[in-house]
């Protein structure tokens, strides 16, 4: 099956209280963004370019890099905190401490999903990213969107409307030889422990959105 990343207009009917959700299926190499149980963006049968697991103190990060047949490369990170611990910082602080080689702008927030624009401090390369805070113990992160697709996703979420057209996003680029370079996050003991991104449940630290 030809792998694409689509905006699906016929299924996307939103309400004001809707929250975008990121859905990942490792078996089918698929990523999906949904609202009200309806898919507005999805990729299926993508090529797995890279897979990794980072194990740190009381936190696990599962990382996947996918390439669609149209050439769009997307990075997905599933961040899971161990039982008895939770995230205590807001998403801006998480981005600041984990994507340390980038400055950032929070472009939009819908429910527990955050739309970020990252700018490389080295070469000004722009990365478009979504973060969903599934719970105080779980984050999902997807980045690598094209500017047009990112804007479409923001507008669809912001205006609670049905998209007018089905849009096929294409990006003809040759994947990097070292596919691990698509991983832009830097999870380490410093940002987990010293920067207090997580703490024991029941501690005096206030959990922030």
Q: What is the pLDDT of residue 187?
A: 93
pTM above 0.85, yes or no: no
Q: Which residues of 72-103 are buried (b: 16+ CB within 10 A; e: fewer)?
A: bbbbbbbbbbeeebbbbbebebbbbbbbeebe
> Taking the alpha carbons of 156, 159, 160, 166 in that order, is the dihedral positive or negative?
negative
HEC profile for 130-146? EEEEEECCEEEEEECCC
Mean pLDDT per block of 10 residues along the chain (209 residues) reads 44 48 89 71 81 92 88 92 91 94 96 96 95 95 91 80 43 72 92 80 61
β-strand partners of 54? 61
- 84 Rama sector, left if φ>0, alpha if ψ -120 to 50, beta otherwise: left
Residues 6+ apart with CB under 8 A from 40: 7, 8, 11, 12, 20, 33, 34, 153, 156, 163
Q: What is the pLDDT of residue 203?
A: 66
Q: Taking a C-beta distance cutoff of 8 angstroms, is the pair 102, 184 a contact? A: yes
Lookup: tokens for 151: 């804007």
Distance in Å from the first CA to the final CA of the chain = 39
Domain positions in the chain: 5-200
Return the number of other C-beta atoms located less than 10 Å from residue 113's C-beta: 22
Q: What is the pLDDT of residue 65?
A: 94
């Amino acid at each position: 099956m030809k792998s694409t990343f689509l905006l699906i207009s016929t299924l996307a009917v939103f309400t004001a209280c809707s929250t975008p959700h990121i859905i990942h299926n490792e078996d089918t190499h698929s990523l999906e963004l949904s609202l009200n149980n309806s898919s507005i963006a999805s990729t299926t049968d993508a090529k797995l370019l890279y897979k990794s697991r980072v194990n740190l103190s009381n936190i696990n990060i599962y990382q996947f890099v996918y390439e669609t047949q149209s050439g769009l490369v997307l990075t997905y990170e599933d961040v899971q905190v161990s039982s008895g611990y939770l995230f205590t910082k807001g998403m801006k602080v998480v981005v600041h401490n984990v994507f340390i080689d980038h400055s950032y702008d929070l472009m939009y927030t819908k429910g527990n999903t955050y739309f970020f624009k990252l700018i490389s401090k080295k070469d000004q390369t722009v990365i478009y990213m979504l973060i969903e805070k599934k719970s105080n113990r779980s984050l999902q992160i997807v980045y690598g969107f094209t500017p047009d697709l990112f804007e479409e996703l923001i507008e669809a979420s912001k205006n609670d409307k049905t998209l007018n057209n089905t849009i096929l996003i294409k990006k003809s680029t040759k994947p990097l030889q070292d596919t691990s370079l698509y991983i832009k996050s830097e999870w380490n003991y410093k940002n987990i422990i010293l920067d207090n991104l997580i703490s024991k449940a029941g501690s005096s630290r206030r959990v922030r959105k």
